[in-house]
Amino acid sequence: MVDEVPAGTAGARAGLRGSLRNSRGQLLAPLGDVIVSVDGQRVRNSFDVIRLVAAKRPGQTVTLRVWRNKKPVDVKVTLQKRTLQ
């Protein structure tokens, strides 16, 4: 499940949805997207997602299939260079 989508990230620009939290960071509702595949390759956990995305380069686009509101949705994400925070 996508827990958080920080503003300004590639995921935010693509429209990925994270869980709903209050101003103190407490989970109100686990409504985040659930990633089920990356470029057609099924994923079982966050490690699979990280491995497949890490094999790509900034500027490339990946298609994430997510479950959202009990329906599959394809989200195209153009990758960007990751910045350390």
What residue ranges define each of the domains in the chain, with the CATH number in brackets? 10-78 (2.30.42.10)
| pLDDT interval class at 52 (50, 70, 90) | very high
In the predicted structure, residue 3 carries a pLDDT above the cut 90: no
In the predicted structure, residue 28 carries a pLDDT above the cut 80: no
Mean pLDDT of 26-30: 72
Determine what percent of the chain is predicted with pLDDT higher than 90: 49
pTM of the model: 0.79
| Cβ–Cβ < 8 Å for 37, 66 | no
**Could you give the CA distance from residue 19 to residue 31 in angstroms, rounded to a whole number?**
5
Please, which residues bridge with residue 65 across strands? 37, 74
| Cβ–Cβ < 8 Å for 4, 17 | no
